[in-house]
Amino acid sequence: MSWKRTLGAAALAFAALGAQAQQDLKFQAMPLGSIWYVFAASFSKYVQPALPAGTKLDVVARGGGIGNVILVNEKKADLGFANTCTSVWAMEGEQEIYKGRKYTDVRALLGGLNEVWIVGMLTEDYIKRTGNDSIERALLSKQPPRVIMKPAGSTVPPAVRMVFQGVGLDFDKYKARGGQILQVDVGQIPQMMRDGRADLYFESASPGHPATQEVSLTVPVRFLDLPEKSLAVLGKNGMKVHPMPASFRGQKGPTKAADFGTNLIVHRDMPENVAYAITKAIIENRDAIVAENKAMANFVAQDAWRPENAGIPLHPGAARYYRERGWLK
């Protein structure tokens, strides 16, 4: 074989390898042990066989609800989990998290996968001292509570800003009225609550959430409904307004709250047949997936396309599947 033919064969082999590499899909989840990593591993079992021949699906054990949108938008990941609301915030360029930059190249395959609520709980000590037994009354009172939450980078601060907005406040106004806002790592919050250094705790909680569970079991707290005007603001910003069921000590019943939601997103440029195949595999294996992931018990397959669950526009491949099922007109 001549050197030219050898070189040509090598070039063809290299091109074939490149094409194969392009078919590998990165599935952006969260670190090992996180609920999204577990979800992704479960999804992969059913999605991988449905993909075009030669396509490999790799779960990436890092990321989160805020950053995954950016990674998918910038094609550093092919698909990933996000919060329904962070998908909306990214597309709209929410100021606190996304600094006004709009990430408009992401599309949803499905949503409504599981529920994570923004909730607020006041200490019984604060309620006894002040008589303020609602979040709105407490925030607007002359004895404002010391608010504690996770730091910037979490989805909690933007949601709390919206809660404040609903009652006519922002963080600066609140501080000017004598209120304190403490933003610390979630691991510090239970101890600070036990030490009496905070009065009102906002968290992104779902049943069994470790920090929320610890606080509710070790500090007398009362879970309170979010103000109606705050719920309206949250609802306009991509969050699903519905009650969090009684799950913790300190809840006397379902608590009015708003759900961050979980959706599955891809880049708008994903081939339609691939987006269709992924959507079909997940929806048609819903029961098997939920059996492996009890946190997804309320995932309703025929509602996965709905705007309140998907949050952002559907990828055409996903929309085609839902139309075929007769769910999307």
Phi then psi for 224, rounded to 5 degrees? -120, 150
Domain end position, chosen among 233, 259, 285:
259
Question: Could you tell me if 52 and 169 lie in one domain?
Answer: no
Q: Which residue has the higher pLDDT, 18 or 115?
A: 115
203 sits in which H/E element: strand 200-205
Domain end position, chosen among 220, 244, 259:
259
Helices (H), the chain: 3-23, 35-47, 67-73, 84-92, 95-98, 124-130, 135-140, 156-166, 171-176, 189-194, 210-218, 228-236, 272-284, 286-292, 307-310, 316-325
**Domain presence at residue 122:** yes
Question: Could you tell me if 164 and 242 lie in one domain?
Answer: yes
Question: Could you tell me if 87 and 149 lie in one domain?
Answer: no
Distance CA 304, CA 319 (A): 11
Question: Could you tell me if 87 and 121 lie in one domain?
Answer: no
Query: By mean pLDDT, which of 28-37, 272-281, 302-311 is the weakest?
Result: 28-37
Question: Could you tell me if 149 and 70 lie in one domain?
Answer: no
**Domain presence at residue 1:** no
Question: Could you tell me if 56 and 182 lie in one domain?
Answer: no
Nearest alpha-carbon partner for 83 in 111, 43, 47, 106: 111
Question: Could you tell me if 238 and 265 lie in one domain?
Answer: no
Query: By mean pLDDT, which of 78-82, 132-136, 152-156, 244-248 is the weakest?
Result: 152-156
**Domain presence at residue 283:** yes
Question: Could you tell me if 145 and 247 lie in one domain?
Answer: yes
Cβ atoms of residues 85 and 261 within 8 Å: yes
Residue that is written with structure tokens 């990321």 in the block: 63
**3-state SS assignment for residue 320:** helix
**Domain presence at residue 6:** no
**Domain presence at residue 8:** no
The number of domains in the chain is 2
Q: Could you tell me the residue range of the domain that residue 102 belongs to?
A: 21-114+261-325
Nearest alpha-carbon partner for 85 in 263, 260, 233: 260
**Domain presence at residue 4:** no
Beta-carbon count within 10 A of 228 CB: 12
Question: Could you tell me if 106 and 170 lie in one domain?
Answer: no
Question: Could you tell me if 144 and 221 lie in one domain?
Answer: yes
Residue that is written with structure tokens 């950016």 in the block: 70
Distance CA 195, CA 119 (A): 21
Question: Could you tell me if 251 and 280 lie in one domain?
Answer: no
- The count of C-alpha atoms lying within 13 angstroms of the C-alpha of 290, restricted to the half-sphere facing its C-beta, is 14
List the Cα angle 265/270/272 in 5-degree steps.
105
- pLDDT band of residue 180 (cuts 50, 70, 90) is very high
Average model confidence (pLDDT) across the chain: 91
CATH value at residue 203: 3.40.190.10
- Tens-digit pLDDT profile for residues 111-169: 999 999 999 999 999 999 999 999 999 999 999 999 999 988 788 999 999 999 999 99
- The beta-carbon contacts of 31-35 under 8 Å, at least 24 apart in sequence, are 31/61, 31/62, 32/61, 35/114, 35/293, 35/295
CB-based contacts of 114, cutoff 8 Å, min separation 6: 35, 39, 206, 262, 295, 296, 298, 299
Instruction: Tell me the C-alpha to C-alpha distance, in Å, between residue 201 and each of 92, 123, 190, 322.
Output: 28, 8, 10, 40
Domain end position, chosen among 259, 290, 313:
259
User: What pTM was computed for the model?
Assistant: 0.81
